[in-house]
Chains A and B, each alone.
Chain A
Amino acid sequence: MKGSAFLARYLSSPSAILGTSVIVMIVTAALFASVLYPQDPLRSVAAPEIWPFVDAAHPLGTDAIGRDIAAMMMHGARTTIAIGLIASIVASIIGILIGAVSGFYGGMVDNLLMRFTELFQIIPNLVFLIALVSVFGPRIEVVVLGIGSVSWTGMARLVRAEFMTLKNREFVLAARAAGMTDLRIIASEILPNALPPAVVLASLIVGAAVLYEASLSFLGLSDPAIASWGRLVGEGRSLIRTSWYIAAVPGLGIMLAVLSVNLVGDALTDALNPRLGREASGS
């Protein structure tokens, strides 16, 4: 597939443009957080409970103890992006490893690995995540690895399927005949070809990971030292009867982030696979 054709197809989709621009917005917010709000965002800087769009100095208002919501949102964007990305990478690595081995070798290995994958599909993800956090403590590395460890099953199945079709193609057979080791065939012959759909799926995992982290920190079970958006929603809960915006604003942020990632993921799928994409969109 030509890169430029792919890009053209991608950009022809309005949802791709919308999604990309929201992502760019969030990333910009994260990058400039320290420039616009150099102080600790958890610092109390003004009167409590200023509503959004009332005071120009605090455009999104302040929370129950006078912290600037805009500052917390911008700094929180970093956490949200970082957790989403890293968790997705962790999930992708686990999923690709298991899927590749399973699909390449087949037989008993495949059978065993797929049973293992099934195990993780059955255990309710968030319950497992909560169990992990309660065992190992609510630390950021536990949360990120935990999210990764409940999000890899889809990736494993996808990569396995790709490997199963690709492993009998001529170029693989040729490589085998040339005496390449299994590891080299997997890594340098099959994997590059299986990668595009995997990347699309990885982008969708980012969205799911953001939601997992949001749920955990909303419950107060994520790392208490980190002010992610989910935690802000959770903290806004107790004043929801009067100052409901404290919970509403960060929730909107989560929704926008996940939405944009999903839109981009969908557009990528369409662009990668025009036939399937057209079918799904009904033309």
Chain B
Amino acid sequence: MKRFGLKTLLATASVALLLTGMPMMASAQEPQSGGTIVELVSSEPPNLVGAFGGATTLHEISDKIFDKLLEDKNGEYEPRLAESWEVSPDGRTFTFHLNPSVKWHDGTPFTSADVAFTMTEIWKKFGGILAYGRITGVETPDEHTVVFKAENQIAPQLLLGTLGNLQGLVLPKHIYENTDYKANPANLAPIGSGPYKFKEWVKGQYIVLERNPDYYRKPYPYLDGIVVRFERSANTRAAALEAGDAHLGVRSPVALRDLDRIEKLDNLAYTAAGSEGAVWLQQMEVNLQHEITANPLVRKAIAHAINKEKLVSLVYAGHAKPATGPIPSTIPSYTKDVDTYGFDPAKAEALLDEAGYPRKSDGKRFPLKLVVGNWFETQSQSADLIAQDLADVGIDVTIDKPAIPAFIGQVYKNYDFDITLTNSVNYSEPGVGSLIWLWTKGIIPGVPWRNASHYSNPEMDAVIEASLVEQDPSKRMEQLHTFQKLAARDLPIIYLVEMDMINVYNKKLHNVGNHPRWYYTNWEDLWLEH
């Protein structure tokens, strides 16, 4: 039996201590308890329960209130609600030993029944998560043991990487049982087991989280509370941070061009650390149902025609880097050994000629509709630049920027696009967010962030399906490399840039960005100097 958990943690911890521990101890300050910080987010979440799926802001807040069985730190697993776990050698039985001292925020003890309930009633029913779909049975031999069973094998990294990510937040059975889950009032005033308790939600303005004094991981949390304030515009976020009215903004809270100025201020700092294990890719999904773009030569021509460096420097002010494939470069399973498409308009033109689309008398070859997922200002700006790049090689691009819900219907339900500009979030475990975009089974009309290209390649499907069940880590690594090579060769999605997700914070705040998926973690060790 493979044992993950405490041992792994101790081993990594001691290595870390050897490498950096001693000098760190001397120079770094002792963490201080107390203090309340103000965090700025760009939009108000609809509710606070991430387990049903939904927007990023929702998950960011939900992760402070709820807790997971374990925490995935770029492939290393740390115990949380589960103190330890075993995976059977056949990859069909996953046993978790729960921490007996955990209580929900209302004082009710946390037990295996909560985990079993969340798996069968919430995780398996909402969100269509790959790993959970493969679980066929849940057993609770005692109050503090829960066993997940699968008829078919599951790659351990897939299940643990999902449980240890934002999809793994456990809900209280006693609050949700026999209710309409999505209409439960607790979705707006959640009862969790994490380091921070929900205190207050002033609609349109802010949410207050306060320290959970009974949190089972002492001495955490350090902070007395977090005020999450909704601030829609980048310039007002910058102003609030500068004035000291707010301490923190995550995921690039200010205009990227504004960062140079922010860096020079006495009280603020910024870092791109904290998103290595949750990387935002900017990508162009290509509709393979469209006659012209079904031609791989055309897709390759588009890839060569787009100046990614220009996107990086103009749109992202240098806070991004060109992407090569579906798995970003900071993820352990990344390989750079794939077909690449440098900026080369001449080559693009040659490919288009070869594909049988010469320039017509008006200089144009064919029209394409570019549908933009317009949730960041950078998306809209990128679209304008890309349209120019494509116009230069004779592709006549019409830009369409629908509102977000309309966009989702247009692209992921009606497939009414030729090319579309979107983002994907890619985690350390590719099974969580990266594979489904290119899998035939990912073609699910009406469900967003899936295979809208209609790319269907048996070779690719075989690799993806093998990686879902593979028990041998090195073989799985090879499969994931093959996945990236096929993706870059066939180009159903053109990968543009890996975006830096910048955290801007007050210098009095410590431990910002100290986890590869920092903005999606519970910030138990975040502390304020005072």
Contact = CB atoms under 8 A, between A and B. Distances in A.
Interface of A: 40, 42-44, 48-49, 64-67, 134, 137-138, 224-225, 235, 237-242
B380 A242 contact: no
Contact of B314 (A48, A137, A237, A240): A48
Interface residues of B, number: 28
Given A44-B310, A242-B257, 13 more contacts: A43-B388, A44-B384, A44-B385, A48-B314, A64-B257, A138-B403, A224-B374, A237-B234, A238-B234, A238-B377, A239-B255, A239-B258, A241-B261
Contact of B258 (A40, A138, A242): A242
Nearest to B235: A240
Contacts of B233: 237-238
Interface residues of A, dominant DSSP:
loop
B402 A137 contact: yes
The 9 closest A-B pairs by CB, nearest first: A224-B401, A238-B255, A238-B234, A65-B314, A240-B235, A65-B381, A42-B384, A43-B388, A239-B255
Interface residues of B, dominant DSSP:
helix
A142 to B, nearest CB: 13
Contact of A48 (B234, B257, B372): B257
Contacts of B310: 44
Interface of B: 233-235, 238-239, 255, 257-258, 261, 310, 314-315, 372, 374, 377, 380-381, 384-385, 388, 391, 398-403, 406
Contacts of B380: 224
Given A64-B255, A225-B399, A241 B235 contact: yes
17 contacts: A40-B391, A42-B388, A44-B310, A48-B314, A49-B257, A64-B257, A64-B381, A65-B314, A65-B385, A134-B403, A137-B406, A225-B399, A238-B233, A238-B255, A238-B377, A239-B255, A239-B257
A224 B370 CA distance: 12
A225 B406 CA distance: 16
Contact of A44 (B261, B314, B372, B400): B314
A242 B239 CA distance: 11
B370 to A, nearest CB: 11
A43 B388 CA distance: 7
B324 to A, nearest CB: 24
B388 A237 contact: no
Contacts of A40: 388, 391
A43 B258 CA distance: 22
B258 to A, nearest CB: 6
A239 B402 CA distance: 24
A134 B406 CA distance: 10
A176 B466 CA distance: 89
B374 A241 contact: no
Nearest to A67: B384
B261 A242 contact: yes
B230 to A, nearest CB: 17
A1 B388 CA distance: 55
A65 B258 contact: no
A242 B264 CA distance: 13
B267 to A, nearest CB: 15
Given A44-B314, A65-B384, A224-B401, A237 B235 contact: yes
Nearest to A240: B235
Nearest to B380: A224
Contacts of B406: 137
Contacts of A238: 233-235, 255, 258, 377
A38 to B, nearest CB: 14
Nearest to A239: B255
Contacts of B385: 44, 65
B380 to A, nearest CB: 7
Nearest to B233: A237
Nearest to A223: B401
Nearest to B314: A65
B369 to A, nearest CB: 11
A15 B388 CA distance: 43
A237 B255 CA distance: 10
Nearest to A247: B235
A246 to B, nearest CB: 11
Nearest to B237: A238
